[in-house]
Amino acid sequence: MPTELTDDLARLSGWVSVEEAEGLLAWLQTRPQARLDLALCEHLHAAVLQILLHARPAIVAWPADPALQSWLEPTSHP
Amino acid sequence: MNPLLQQFIQESRDSLESISAELMALERAPASSERMAGLFRLVHSLKGNSGLFDFPEMTRVLHAGEDLMGAVRDGRVAYSPELADTLLDAMDFVTLQLDEIEGSGAAGAGHAADAAALAARLRALAPAAEAPVGAPAAAVAAGAAQLPLPRFEQLPEAARQAAASALQQGSPLFLLAYRPEPECFFKGEDPFHQARQLPGLLWGGAALHETPPALAEMDCYRSVLTYTMLAAAPRATLDAYFRYTPEQVRIEAVTPGDGLEACRQALLAAQGEILELPDGVAWLRGRLQATAASLRGCLGPEPAGLDAALAAALAEPAAAPLRDWLAGYDARSAAAAAADRRGAAPAQGQGRNGGDDEPAFNRRADDGQLGKVLKVDQGKVDRLMNLIGEMVVAKNGLPYLANRAEQQHGLRDLARDIKANYAVINRIAEEMQDAIMQVRMMPASVVFQRFPRLVRDISRKLGKEVQLVLEGEETEADKNIVEVLADPLIHIVRNSLDHGLEPPEDRAAAGKPRCGRLLIRAGQESDRVVIEIADDGRGIDTAAVKRKALAQGLIDPAAAEAMSEQEATELIFAPGFSTAAAITDLSGRGVGMDVVRTTIAKAGGSVELRSRLGAGTTLRLSLPLSMAVTNVMVVETDGQIFGIPMDAVVETMRLPASAIHHIKSAMTTTLRGRVIPLKPLNELLAIEAEPQANSDGELAVLVLRLHGERIGILVDGFRDVIDVILKPLPGELGRLSTYAGSALLGDGAVLMVLNPKELL
């Protein structure tokens, strides 16, 4: 299970697939203060990416891959 | 080139020709709905076929053509000469692509833009409101050019530095905007992955391009992102990368001037401001020198007059000389830059077309490329085959004629001439026969090419790891033989995967590599084609096979006891035999190996099975290269002649009566230390006569090999070995399995050819 959702922290790891988009969206919709841990994330499906870009949750840990991080940077809280 | 592709090219050329002819005919009779429908079908099937291959440009154009023709057929669009022109242009484009594919084996990626333009033209002719597929695509195609691109100088520092070093290495640089269609997720696409994998990617970003509804109402399965990327890769590579969706990307070249010029202007402006500062400060000299250094850095190695201006400024010391120089320089460089930009403009304009050659599909009536492959109806080849067969028979009559001339009429010279003529005709007939056989030859790859997929699917379903090795795919055999092979081979491969190869864990436990190996090898051995299917699986457990056969009532316990290992292995060929505990959809339904053996035997082939417990199983199918001509040995018994197929004959010999041992009613002899059972042919055919010995008191014995065993057949005498065209017996006679068929001899006599496998 690449996505671990706890009370206010979502831990995405590995290759996050399109199937997980809906669950993540539902989780984010009810948690304005949600935090995201991407340390182990290798890739996000575009559907997941656009949720993050829209919701802009706080990122507590960036992906290890700097290339992926640079794509994701605009998602973080201003 | 792969035969399927070859066939596709041939068929497509035919279709294109028909399409052109139909369009011409429509020009004369634009109201013919029948022709419209025909044209639609042609374009439709051409598009369908192109979809089998990786030719997105061709498919795109044909798809647009198909939509347009559909609209014409349904009367939503009126036929017009412009429409015909556009369609002909589209077909010319397809012809051009076919030429390219035929020449190089692949479609060039450079035509994506042409294809998109053509498709857009075709779509423009179709009514937008009623072409639900076409309209959005066309809109997007128009929209791609308007996709916003970031300005180079807005990119993050790291991206600009990467771009600078790429430029220094002479790599072309492009900015891309990629906006996938909103429904792309439903097609299994991941545009983000696509964007990340872009060749030469230096930087990328993604942004929502429409203000989405509140998070609570967001539809996460509708793509709303636009990706912007900076890539250092040749234009052609980028075009090829997005060749499936050219209407969703905008690609623009970044020339060094773009960002640098802005920076330079900013720097120069800053220097100008510095020089405007009041002169009366102690550090004026230092400031002047620093400014001059900045200007030098900005404007290249030695801007004319800068040194002199600096010297003058330092001498005063005042900023004025330098300021004046800079103002003069600005005016000069503005003029130069304007000239520069005029020169660079065409280069930038090439952004969309990537500087490709002119679209070269302006050929219509002038391309006379005729296919080098002839498509012939199989019936015609079969007719040729029958004719050459009759010719072989007729030619065989000449030696009889020569004998009659010599023996009945005493004309030795004539007989010799006839024989000489016969030799010539014989040679030509044989060559002709060979040539016609060649026409019917097909490579084994026709059957083999489906195996990679089959093996992959089945092994995945079974959770096994299998490496498939195909060898000798180029081996050729008669079309009928290759076709006969298809089903048995599938059975065998399924059996190997299902029963032969073990799951990875079992293999690892047995000390074998986890990944099993399945080898399918075709080869030619003299006049036979041999197919070997070998796996390194668990092999056949003869004890289990015997138990199953007993349980299924195929053998009795005494027979089971007496069986050799090989015999027990061969039990899997028994009709109704099945080892699978459960019936799966793969195998284990009790049809299989016995069907395999009978199918192969019907085509004149044989199946050999070798298996070692724990080490694997090898099946060897041996088939004649061609079914058209059968090599038979003619034997005589009780005054009649019979043919026996040569592939069953091991040797012929003459045995003195003393070498024959009688055990009860059975006869045997010893041949090179092996005991061979003997059967008189008369007895097998229920002819009430004893085998006749020759003048030396020796009996003629024909040694046959059947199912791996040798057996001697007692006959009265041997005649010659001849090639015959074997014809199956007609009607009810066809059910006499003792005979393989009949053949006509050169002297007009009918030869009955025996089927040794059924005889015994």
In Å, how far is B463's CA from the nearest CA of chain A? 21
Query: Residue B205 and residue A71: Cβ atoms within 8 Å?
Result: yes
pLDDT for the residue numbered B578:
64
H-assigned helices in B278-368: 284-299, 306-315, 320-349
Q: Are B739 and B754 in contact (CB under 8 A)?
A: yes
Transcribe B162-184 into DSSP letters. Answer: HHHHHHHTT---EEEEE---TTG
> pLDDT tens digits for A8-58?
888 888 888 888 888 888 888 888 888 888 888 888 888 888 888 888 888
Contact criterion met (CB below 8 Å) for B361 and B93 = yes
DSSP assignments along B76-121, one per residue? SS---HHHHHHHHHHHHHHHHHHHHHHHHSS--GGGHHHHHHHHHH
Question: CB-CB: which of B184, B201, B207 is closest to A53?
Answer: B207
Side-chain-side CA neighbours of residue B254 (13 Å): 29
Q: How many CB atoms lie within 10 A of CB B368?
A: 5
B227 → chain A, closest CA residue: A71
B364, part of any domain: no
Contacts of A15 in chain B (CB under 8 A): none
Residues B312, B168 within the same domain: no
**Domain-located, residue B677:** yes
Percentage above 90 pLDDT, chain B? 6
| Rounded Cα gap, residues B319 and B280, in angstroms | 10
Let me know if residue B361 belongs to a domain: no
Per-residue model confidence (pLDDT) at position B519:
92
CATH of the domain at B547: 3.30.565.10
Taken as a whole, chain A contains a residue count of 78
Which chain A residues have a beta carbon less than 8 Å from that of B225?
46, 49-50, 53
Instruction: Give the closest residue to B494 by CA, choosing from B531, B457, B549.
Output: B457
For residue B363, being part of any structural domain is answered with no
Same domain, B112 and B181: no
Predicted pLDDT of residue B628: 62
Which residue does chain A place closest to B205, by CA atoms? A71
Domain containing A57 — which CATH number? 3.30.750.24
Question: B274 is in which domain, residue-wise?
Answer: 258-349
A47 touches chain B (CB under 8 A): yes
Which among B564, B754, B720 has a CA at the least distance from the CA of B648? B754
**Same domain for B185 and B90?**
no
The confidence score (pLDDT) of residue B14 equals 84
Q: Which of B594, B624, B654 is the last residue of a domain?
A: B624
Q: How many residues does chain B have?
A: 760
Residues B192, B273 share a domain: no
Q: DSSP letter at B604?
A: T
Residues B413 and B554 in one domain: no
Burial of B98 (0-12, 13-18, 19+ CB in 10 A): buried
Q: Which residues of chain B have pLDDT under 70?
A: 1, 107-110, 127-144, 212, 256-261, 300-303, 330-372, 578-592, 627-628, 746
Under 8 Å CB-to-CB from B308, ≥6 apart: which residues?
none
Tell me how close the Cα of B200 comes to any Cα of chain A, in angstroms: 13
Q: Is residue B354 part of a domain?
A: no
The boundaries of the domain holding residue A64 are 3-75
Which residue, B141, B162, B180, sits at the end of a domain? B141
My answer on whether B587 and B453 are in the same domain is yes
Per-residue pLDDT, B583: 40
> What pLDDT does residue B252 have?
84
Kind and range of the H or E run holding B711: strand B709-715
Whether residue B458 sits in one domain with residue B394: no
CATH code of B47's domain: 1.20.120.160
Same domain for B113 and B101: yes
Q: Match 């009265």 to its residue by tokens.
A: B716
H-run or E-run covering B707: none
User: Burial code of A47-66, b = ≥16 C-beta within 10 A, e = fewer?
Assistant: bbbbbbbbbbbebeebbeee
The pTM of this model reads 0.43
- Compare all CA atoms of chain A with the CA of B217 and give the residue at the minimum distance: A29
pLDDT of amino acid B424? 93
Instruction: Determine the residue of chain B that is closest to A27 in CA distance.
Output: B216
Report the DSSP pairing between strands B660-663 and B709-715. Answer: unpaired
Q: Cα B555–B560–B564 angle (5° rounding)? A: 120
- Choose from A49, A68, A75 for mutation: most chain B CBs within 10 A: A49
Verify that B638 and B574 share a domain, yes or no.
no
Q: Is residue B372 part of a domain?
A: no
Classify the C-alpha dihedral B359-B365-B369-B375 as positive or negative.
positive
Query: Integer distance in angstroms from the first to the last C-alpha of chain A?
Result: 30
Question: CB-based contacts of B318: which residues, under 8 Å, 6+ apart?
Answer: B279, B284
SS3 track for B637-679: ECCEEEEEEHHHEEEEEEEEHHHEEEECCEEEEEECCEEEEEE
DSSP, collapsed to helix, strand or coil, labels residue B476 as: strand
Same domain, B208 and B344: no
Structural domain count of chain A: 1
> What distance in Å separates residue A27's CA from the closest CA in chain B?
10
> Within this chain, do residues B298 and B432 fall inside the same structural domain, yes or no?
no
Q: How far apart are CA B521 and CA B51, in angstroms?
A: 31
Give the number of domains in chain B. Answer: 6
pLDDT at residue B596, as a whole number: 84
Which site among B160, B215, B217 would you substitute to test the A interface, given the most A Cβ atoms closer than 10 Å to its Cβ?
B215
Please check whether residue A46 touches B, CB under 8 A.
Answer: yes
Mutation site, B189, B198, B220, B224, interface A, largest A CB count within 10 A: B220
Measure the CA–CA gap between B410 and B168, rounded to whole angstroms: 99
Angle at CA of residue B212, ends B210 and B213, nearest 5°: 150
How many beta-carbon pairs below 8 A join chains A and B?
Answer: 71
Among B472, B470, B584, B453, which Cα is nearest to B517's? B470
CB contact under 8 A, A21 and B206: no
**Complex confidence, ipTM:** 0.91
Distance of alpha carbon B291 from the chain centroid: 68
A56 touches chain B (CB under 8 A): no
Per-residue pLDDT band at A1 (split at 50, 70, 90): very low
What DSSP state is assigned to residue B338?
H
Rg (CA), chain B: 41
- d(C-alpha B140, C-alpha B640), whole Å: 84
CATH number of the domain encompassing residue B171 = 3.30.70
Pick from B318, B341, B288, B352: nearest CA to B149: B352
From CA A66, how far away is CA B698, in angstroms rounded? 93
A68 touches chain B (CB under 8 A): yes
Helix orientation angle between B33-50 and B3-28, rounded to the nearest 10 degrees: 160
Residue B57 lies in a domain: yes
Scan residues 12-41 of A and list those with Cβ closer than 8 Å to B.
18, 21-22, 25, 28-29
B222's tokens: 């509708």
Query: Under an 8 A CB cutoff, do B192 and A51 touch?
Result: no
pLDDT of residue B582: 40
Query: Amino acid identity of B341?
Result: R
Q: What is the pLDDT of residue B355?
A: 41
Judgement on whether residues B470 and B607 belong to the same structural domain of the protein: yes
CATH number for the domain spanning B707: value is 2.40.50.180
Candidates A21, A67, A70; nearest CB to B220: A21
Report the residue of A24, A54, A69 to disrupt the B interface, i.e. the one with the largest count of B CBs within 10 Å: A54
Report DSSP state, residue B394: H
Q: Say yes or no for a CB contact (<8 Å) between B224 and A50.
A: yes
Q: Minimal Cα–Cα distance from A75 to chain B, Å?
A: 9
- Report the C-alpha gap between B421 and B397 in whole angstroms: 12
Alpha carbon B703 to chain centroid distance? 45
